[in-house]
Amino acid sequence: MEQVELKAKRVWLKAFWGFDPGEDGYLGFTLESDRDRLIAQWQPGDLVLIYGAASEETARENRRQALGFLEIDPIATSDVARSSALAMKRKIDRGYRDRWTYAVPVKRAWRVERRIEVKYVAPDTYDRSAGRIIAKQGKLITDDEVVRALALPVRAVSVFGEPPVENGEEIETMSDAYHPSRGIAPTFGPREIEIVDGPCYLYMHVFEGDLPSMLGRSPASLSDKIVVKIGYSNDPTRRCGELNLGIPPAARSRWREELKSRPFKGASEAKAAEDQLKASFDRSFESLGGEFFLGRREDMSSKFISACAAAAFTIKA
131-153 pLDDT tens trace = 677 878 888 999 999 999 999 99
The secondary structure element, H or E, covering residue 242 is helix 236-244
Query: Where do the domains of the chain lie?
Result: 2-177, 201-315
Whether this model's pTM surpasses 0.85: no
Q: How far apart are CA 249 and CA 181, in angstroms?
A: 10
| Per-residue pLDDT at 105 | 92
User: Sign (positive/negative) of CA torsion 77, 81, 84, 89?
Assistant: positive
User: Sign (positive/negative) of CA torsion 121, 123, 126, 129?
Assistant: positive
Q: Count of alpha carbons within 13 Å of 196, Cβ hemisphere only?
A: 2
| Per-residue pLDDT at 127 | 76
| Per-residue pLDDT at 196 | 59
Q: What is the mean pLDDT of each run of 10 residues along the chain (317 residues)?
A: 50 92 92 92 90 88 94 90 89 84 92 93 82 81 92 91 72 70 56 68 93 88 92 90 83 88 88 90 89 93 84 50
Contact 203, 231 (CB under 8 A): yes
Q: What burial letters (b/e) apply to 111-124, b meaning 16+ CB within 10 Å?
A: bbeeeeebeebbee
| Per-residue pLDDT at 192 | 63
| Per-residue pLDDT at 8 | 44
Neighbours of 146 (CB within 10 A): 23
Contact 156, 177 (CB under 8 A): yes
Query: What pairing do the DSSP bridges indicate for beta strands 292-295 and 226-233?
Result: antiparallel
| Conformational region of residue 245, where left means phi above 0, alpha means psi within -120 to 50, and beta covers everything else | alpha
Closest of 1, 5, 249 to residue 146, by C-alpha? 5
Which residues lie below 8 Å from residue 223, measured CB to CB, with a gap of 6+? Answer: none
CATH class of 2-177: alpha beta
